[in-house]
Structure 1
Amino acid sequence: MFPHLFAPLTLRRTTLKNRIMSTGHDTTMPTDGTVNPALIAYHRARAKGGVGLIITQVAGVHETARYTSHLLMATTDACIPGYTELAKAVHAEGAAILSQLFHPGREIMESADGLLAVAYAPSAVPNERFHVMPRPLSLAMIEEIIAGYASAAKRLHQAGFDGVEVVASHGYLPAQFLNPRVNLREDGFGGTDAKRQHFLTRVLAAIRTATDDDFVIGLRISAGERDDEGLTIQEALAACKALEPGLDFVNVTTGTSASIGGAVHIAAPMTFAAGYFAADASIFRKALKIPVFVAGRINQPQEAEAIIASGKADVCGMTRALICDPKMPVKAEAGAVEDIRACIACNQACIGHFHRGLPISCIQYPESGRELTYGSLKAAAKRRKIMVVGGGPAGMKAAITAAKRGHDVTVYEAANQLGGQALLAQLLPKRAEFGGIITNLSREMELAQVKVRRGIMVTAALVQAEAPDAVILATGARPHVPDLPTDGHIQIVTAWQVLRREVKLGAKVVVADWRCDWIAPGIAEMAARDGAQVTLAVNGLHPGESLPLYVRDTMAADLHRLRIDVRPYARLFGTAEDTVYLQHTPSGEAMEVSGVDTLVLSLGHIPVDGLALELQELGIAVTQIGDCLAPRTAEEAVYDGLKAGVAA
C-alpha cells in the first residue's frame, strides 16, 4: 500500500529500512541526566513496532546547555554505558538510532534548583517567551561549546550510535548564530552570512574529526521560525546550502521556542492541518542534493506516503503517531490501516506532560511511557464474566484491556452510540479530530471481541440478573448547575445544550468558565461565529489555564481574532434582569455584564454514580472509573480503564 514509505534509504553505511522516523523529543524519563531503563523500554517498543529511524532526545554538549532539570547530558564518559544499552536495544529490533546534540543558548526553560539560570547567546538579545536576558558568549566559551559538540559525538560513536543530529531548530543556539536579528556580533562569528554560519561550520567539522567516515551527521533546522524576529525560510535555506558539504541530511521543521506564537509549531495541535508544513519542506528538497526529512502533524501512513511520493521529502517524522501507536509501522506495512490507533494531536499527555515535568504518555494509549509497567499484558489466571457499564473512553479501555487478558466482557451503554463526552468534545470548533478517540477505541473493542449492548439503561436488577464476576462502572458525569440567584430574565443554559444545538443564544452571550479548559472558549468561539457579542468570564488566570501550552496559545489567538471580551479572575455570582453579576476573585469587587440574552454555564461536572451506591448496598463489589469516580479529562478516564482492565 505504501511503496515509497517502505523503501529503504542509505545514509553513509547506515540503511533505514523505511522512511518513518521518530524525531528527537524530550520524554522526561531520565532522572539523573543519563539513559535509564524506562527510556530504553520506550524506544525499544517503537523499534519493535517497525520504525526505520529513532532520533533520541537532546543531549547537552556543555554545562550551560541545561535548559530543563531533566536533560540528558553527553558531557562526560558516564553517559556511555546507558547510551550503549539503548543502541543495542534499538539495533536488535532492526531500527537505526541517532542522538540529537543540543545547546539552547538563551532558550532556558527552568533550572534544577528553581533559581534563574545564567543563559548564554551570541548577543544580549532577550528571549520573549521565557523572559531570559542572555550574556554574550566570549570567544573562549564558543570554543568550549564547539569542542563539547565534538566530544559528545565521540561518546555517542563509542556507544554504538549510527550518528547524530545537530539541533539548529526552534531558535536554539545554532539558529541564534544564524539569525541576524539575534546575532549582533562583529567578530568572526557575526556580521555577514558566512560569519554567522561559521559556528555551525566549525561544529560539523569538529564532529566529523572526532568520529569517522561512517558516522551520520545531520542538521535539524526550522525552515522559517514563523515569528517577526525569527529565522526566515530564505536564511535557513542559505545556511543549509552553505553547510551541505558537511551534512548527510537536513531535517526541517518550523517555529521557534523564542515566542508564544512561534512555539505552537513545536508540537502543533489539531487546529493545524495534517502535514501542513510539507510544502515548505519541498523548497529544501528541491534545492539540496542530500536527503531532506520533515516533521509536523504527519499522523497517518497515507499522509507520509503522499509527501514522499510527491517529492516533498525523503523521510517523515511521525513522533506523536508513534507515541499513540508504537506498532503503526508494522500495521501500515501489513496493510492493516484500520487497526492503526491514529494520533488526534490533543497534546495532553505527550508535550503536555513534558511542560509539567512529567514522563510523556498518550491519552489514547497510556501504556506509552509506562512500558516497564504495562508493556505486556498478563493473561488472566481464570476467565471471568465482566460487566462494564458505560461506553465512554473509560469503559471502552477497561473492556479492551480485560478482554485482551482473556475475560468475557460486555459493555452496556445507555445511549445508541459509544463515546460518552467525546461525542460532545468533537463538536467544539476545530476539535472534530478528537472524535478519533471513539473510532480508535471502537476498533480495538472489535479486535478484542468485546460484546456491546447499546440503548440499555443498567439497573441494579439487571446486574443481579446478569450475575457477572466483576462490575466496572464508567457511568460518566453530568454538567454542574449550581443554585444561582436569578430572576429568570436571562436564559441560563449549559455548554452541553449549546453543543447539541438545543438552544438559541441571542445577540449577547456570557460564557462562565470554571474549569479553564477547552470547553468554554470553544462555546465562546461558536457563539461569536454565529454573530453574538461574547464575554468569556474565566474563573482563573486566563482561558485554557489547565490546557497544554500550545493548545491554550492557539486558542488565545482565536479568541483575540474574534474580539471576544475575556475577563479573568471572574467568579460567577448570579443574574438579575439583563445583567450577569461576577466577582473579581483577588479583590472581591463586583463585575457586571449588562444587556445579556444568555448565560452559558461551563462550570465542570458532577459524577453520575447512583448505580454504584445501589450495588454497594446490595453487597456487589464495583470498580468505579472515569468521571463517575471523579470528573476529569479523557486522559484520566482511559488510564483508569487500563488499570481496571489489568486488575480485573
Structure 2
Amino acid sequence: MTSFPRLFSPLRLRNTEIRNRILSTGHQTYLAKGGLPGEDFVAYHEARAKGGAGLIVVEAARFHATGFTDSPELIVASDDCIPGLKNLADSVHRHGARIFGQLSHSGRVTKRLSGGLRGVAYAPSVVPDQRFHTMPRAMPVALIEELIAEAGKAARRFGEAGFDGIELLASHGLLISDFLNPRNNQRTDAYGGSFENRLRFLTDLLAVVRNGLGDGPVLGMRISAEEVEPGGLDKDEVIAICQALKAKRAIDYVNTTMGSMQGLGGSVHVVPPMELPHAYVAPKAGTLRAAVGLPVFVAGRINQPQIAEAVLAAGQADMCGMTRAMIADPEMPSKARTGRLDDIRACIACNQACIGHYHMGVGISCIQNPVTGRERTLGITTKSNTPRRILVAGGGPAGMKAALTAAERGHRVTLHEAGRRLGGQVLLAQLLPERSEFGGLVTNLQHELARAGVEVRLDMPVSAETVRRESPDAVIVATGGLPYRPEIEGAEDAHVLDAWAVLEGRANPGGRVLVADWRCDWVGMGLAEKLAREGRHVRLAVTGTNVGQNLQQYLRDHWVGKLHKLGVEVIPYARLFGVDSDTAYMAHLVTGEPIIANEVETVVLALGHRPDTSLEEELAPLGVPLHLAGDCLAPRSAEEAVYEGMMAGLAV
C-alpha cells in the first residue's frame, strides 16, 4: 500500500478521471519538428506517462500566425497537426495517463524572430515589455476576433486527436494576462476599461474553445497567483479573475504558478532554481483555492513525493506539478507508488539543461539524466554480449556516470577516486550560499552506483602500475581538471588565492577582496556572494560583458539581484594581469586601457581549469583501450561530464 494516499488518489474533472495527483505541466521541449509532434516529441511525453504521471499538459501550442517564430515550437494552426497529436495522445493513453493540450500566445513578451528579423509583436495596448525590449502594436478588434476564432479551430483539432482537455495559458504576463491587467490594457473598446471588458478576451476564448472541444473534455486555465513584477497582476486581482470565471462556469480548474516573463525580476519564478524554497507557491495556491472553490493545481519546486503529499494534505492544491522531477526521473511516480523512494533521482533545480536548453534554442534534457530528450537514441541500455573488466579513474560526475553505465551493461566495474570522497567539483559547488542542493547530483549517483554493484575505491589514484596489476579490458579516464593560473605579474608578493582554496576554507581572504572571474559562471558569482555575506568588501571583475554571462538567464538575473543587495561592485570587461600588495591591475577587454582597483587586500582567482591529461599520457604506452570523459578532455560543466560519462560507459 502506498505511503502517499492523497498523491495516489484519483481526481475527477468533468467526465475525466486522472489516476493520481502528479502533473507534468506545460513546458517547452523544443522537440517539435516543423511545428509538429514528431517521434522525439512523442517519446519524451510517453516516457513520463509510462513512468506513472497522472496528467500531462503538452507545451504551449501556437494557434495563430502572429505567434509564430523560427523556434521549434508546437503549432496547431492547421489540420496537418491532427495525425501527430493523435499519435501523441494514443501513446500517453496507452500507459494510463491523461493528456491536455495548451493554447498560448506570447503577445509582447517575445523577440518574434523569423529569418533573423524581428517581426511585429501584438498586445492589447502599446506598452513595452521590460525583458526583450519589444514595443508592441495594439491589436485591432478584427485581429482579436480572428485570434478567438482560430483558438476554437485549434481546440477542435485537439479534440479530434483524442485529447482529454485543454488549458489556456493566462500566466506569466503573456497575451491573455496582458488583457486582464489594467496597467497593460489601456483600451477603451469592448476589450478594455472595465473589469468585465478586460475579462472579455479570455471569456470569449474559453467559449470558443469549449465549443470546439464539446461538452465532455476538461477546460482549464493556467495563471500566476502573483506576477511579482512591477505593474504585474497581484493576488487580489488574480482571485477576482478566477472568481468571475467560476461564476460564469467557464473553467473546470485553475492551474497556478508564479511570476512573469515581462521583466527580469519575475522571470525567476517561471522555473524557480534551488535558491527558492520547496513548494513556496503552494500557500498562495491554497489561498486562491479557498477563495474560488475550484480544483487548483500548483507547481514550483515540488520535487519529491513527500513534499507533494504535504501540499495536498494541507488543502493547498488538488494536483501537484512535478515537471522537473520527471525530467530528472520519469519513473518518479512509479517509484513513489511502490515505496522505492531511495531510488528516485531527485531534481536539484539547477535549470541547466531544461529551461537552460530552451533559452539556447535546443531540445530539452537534464544534467543528471542525458536520456531526457534523447529517449529514442539513449532510452534503452543494451547488455554487452561479452562482459568485461572496466577500470574507471576519477570519481567526479563523469567517472561516476561512466562506471554506472558500464555496470548497467553487465560489465564488472571498479571506480578509483584519488580523494576521500566521490563528487569532484560538485563538492565545491555545493559549498556556495544556497547551492547545497547541487550536491544531490552526487548523492543520486552514489546510490545508483551501489545499486548497480560498482566497486568504489577511495584514496586510490590510478597509475600505470595500477593498470598493469589489475589488467582491465578498458580504462575510462575521468580525472577532471586543475585550476588554471596564468602568469600574473607581482602574484608572488601579493595575497593571491585560488577559488578552490577559498571554498574549502583552506585560506583566509582579507577584508577587501577582488574576485577575478574569467569563467563568468557560478564560481565567481558564488564566491562574491559568499565573501560579501561574511562582511567583506567585494569587487567582482569579470572577463566578459556581464556577470553570469555563461549561466542560465533566470538564475543569472536572480543572482545579480542578490549581489546588488549585498553591495558587490561589478567590473565588466576586465582582464587581470597584475597585482601588488594593495592593488589589482586589469586591462579593458576592448580598448586595453588600464582598470585599477585600489585598496585590495586579497585577489581570488576564478580563472577556469585546464584538463588533467597526466594519466592519459602515462597509460598511453600500455596499449589498453582508453576512453576519456569530462574535464580531462576539456573543462566544461557537469552536464557535459555526465553525458560524456554515459557515452564512455556505452562504448566499452
- TM exceeds 0.5? yes
Match of 1:6 in 2: 8
Shift of 1:576: 2.4
> For residues 31 and 206 of structure 1, what CA distance do their matches in structure 2 show?
28
| CA shift for structure 1 position 588 | 0.9
State the shift of 1:73 in Å.
0.9
- Whole-angstrom CA distance in 1 between matches of 2:308 and 2:589: 49
What does residue 207 of structure 2 align with?
A: 205
Aligned residue in 2 for 1:564? 568
Question: Does the 8 A contact of 1:349 with 1:360 survive in 2?
Answer: yes
**Conserved in 2, the CA contact under 8 Å of 1:490 and 1:596?**
no
The Cα shift of 1:26 comes to: 0.4
**TM-score of the pair, normalised by structure 2:** 0.98
Of residues 184, 187, 208, the one that matches 2:186 is 184
Gap change, CA 1:364 and 1:478, over 3 Å in 2:
same
Q: Which amino acid aligns with 1:71?
A: E
Alignment of 1:465-476 (within 5 A): 465-476=469-480
- In the TM superposition, 1:174-323 aligns within 5 A as 174-244=176-246, 245-323=249-327
Whole-Å Cα distance in 2 between the matches of residues 365 and 4 of structure 1?
A: 28
- Partners in 2 of 1:420 and 1:2 — Cα distance? 35
- Aligned partner of 2:6: which letter? H
Which of 89, 95, 98 is the matching residue for 1:96?
A: 98
2:157 aligned partner, one-letter code? R
For residue 334 of structure 2, the aligned residue among 306, 330, 337 is 330
The answer to whether the Cα contact below 8 Å between 2:398 and 2:644 also exists between their aligned partners in 1 is yes
Compute the TM-score of the two structures, normalised by the length of structure 1.
0.99
1:541 and 2:513 are equivalent in the alignment: no
Residue aligning to 1:147: 149
Q: Which residue of 1 aligns with 2:39?
A: 37
Q: Shift in Å at residue 288 of structure 1?
A: 2.0
The match for 2:518 is 514
Tell me: CA distance 1:177–1:68, structure 2 relative to 1, closer, same or farther (3 Å). farther
User: 1:637, CA displacement in angstroms?
Assistant: 0.2
Give the aligned CA root-mean-square deviation in angstroms: 0.9
Query: Counterpart of 2:396?
Result: 392
* Aligned 8 A contact 2:70 2:115 in 1: no
Is it true that 1:362 corresponds to 2:366 in the alignment?
A: yes
Structure 2 CA distance for partners of 1:67 and 1:225, relative to 1, 3 Å:
farther
Task: State the identity as a percent.
Answer: 52
Give how far 1:67 is off: 5.2
Q: Secondary structure at the match of 2:118?
A: coil
Q: What SS does the corresponding residue of 2:125 show, helix, strand or coil?
A: coil
C-alpha distance 67-184 of structure 1, shift in aligned 2 (>3 A): farther
Cα pair 1:487 1:577 within 8 Å, conserved: no
Residue in structure 2 matched with residue 158 of structure 1 by the alignment: 160
Q: 1:487 to 1:199 in 2, by over 3 A?
A: closer
Please tell me whether the aligned partners of residues 489 and 578 of structure 1 are also in contact (alpha carbons under 8 angstroms): no
Deviation track 1:69-127 (CA, whole Å, cap 9, x = no partner) reads 22211110011011000000000011000011011111123423111110111101111
Is residue 607 from structure 1 mapped to residue 611 from structure 2 by the alignment? yes
What is the match of residue 523 of structure 1? 527
Q: Any conservation in 2 of the 1:537–1:568 contact (CA below 8 Å)?
A: yes
How far apart are the structure 2 equivalents of 1:81 and 1:512? 55
For residues 345 and 125 of structure 1, what CA distance do their matches in structure 2 show? 33
Are the equivalent residues in 2 in contact too, given 1:23–1:319 (CA < 8 A)? yes
Q: What amino acid is the match of 1:20?
A: I
Unaligned runs of 5+ in 2: none
Contact 2:105–2:174 at 8 Å: present in 1 too?
A: yes
Q: CA deviation at 1:186?
A: 1.1
For residues 576 and 105 of structure 1, the distance between their equivalents in structure 2, rounded to whole angstroms, comes to 54
- For these two proteins, the number of residue pairs brought into alignment is 648
- Counterpart residue number, 1:433: 437
Residue type at the aligned position of 1:577: S
**Separation in structure 2 between the aligned mates of residue 328 and residue 109 of structure 1, nearest angstrom:** 36
Aligned partners of 1:67 and 1:107 also within 8 Å: no
Q: In the alignment, what sits opposite 1:422?
A: 426
Partner deviation per Cα, 1:118-141 (whole Å, 9 max, x = no partner): 011110111110111111111111
Relative to structure 1, the CA distance from residue 66 to residue 393 in structure 2 (aligned partners, 3 Å threshold; closer, same or farther) is same
Structure 1 residue aligned with 2:452: 448
Structure 1 residue 320, shift from structure 2 partner: 0.6
Q: Is contact 1:348-1:362 (8 Å) kept?
A: yes
CA contact (8 A) 2:531 2:538 kept: yes
* Cα separation, partners in 2 of 1:265 and 1:67, compared to 1, 3 Å: farther
Give structure 1 regions of 4+ aligned residues with deviation exceeding 4 angstroms.
none
CA deviation after TM superposition for structure 1 residue 61, in Å: 1.6
Q: Distance in 1 between matches of 2:589 and 2:257?
A: 42
Greater CA drift, 616-625 or 148-157: 616-625
The CA deviation at 1:487 is 5.8
Q: Deviation digits for residues 278-301 of structure 1, max 9, x if unmatched?
A: 111111110122210000111111
Aligned to 1:114: 116
Q: Which amino acid aligns with 1:66?
A: F
Q: Separation in 1 of the partners of 2:158 and 2:491?
A: 71
Deviates more, 1:103-112 or 1:332-341: 103-112
Q: Which moved more, 1:323-332 or 1:187-196?
A: 187-196
| 1:351 correspondence with 2:355 | yes
- The answer on whether the counterparts of 1:68 and 1:108 sit within 8 Å (CA) in structure 2 is no
Distance 2:217 2:293 in 1: 19
- Deviation digits for residues 569-603 of structure 1 (CA, Å, limit 9, x no counterpart): 00011112311000011111000111111110000
Judge which range, 485-494 or 82-91, deviates more. 485-494
The AA in structure 2 aligned to 1:28 is Y
In structure 2, the residue corresponding to 1:544 is in which secondary structure?
coil
Listed one character per residue, the Cα deviations across residues 6-26 of structure 1 (whole Å, up to 9, x for unaligned) are 000011121110000000000
Residue aligned with 2:117, SS: coil
Question: Within 1, Cα distance between the matches of 2:261 and 2:448?
Answer: 37
CA distance in 2, matches of 1:594, 1:586: 22
SS of match in other structure, 1:528: helix
Post-superposition shift, 1:68? Answer: 5.5
Partners of 2:541 and 2:309 in 1: how far apart? Answer: 45
| 1:480 corresponds to which of 467, 473, 484 | 484
Amino acid at match of 2:243: K
| Inter-partner Cα distance in structure 1 for 2:445 and 2:236 | 44
Q: Distance in 1 between matches of 2:45 and 2:153?
A: 24
Instruction: Give the equivalent residue in structure 2 for 1:84.
Output: 86
| In structure 2, distance between residues paired with 1:542 and 1:280 | 34
- SS across alignment from 1:581: strand
CA contact (8 A) 1:205 1:246 kept: yes
SS in structure 2 of the partner of residue 267 of structure 1: coil
Q: Give ranges in structure 1 of 5+ residues lacking alignment.
A: none
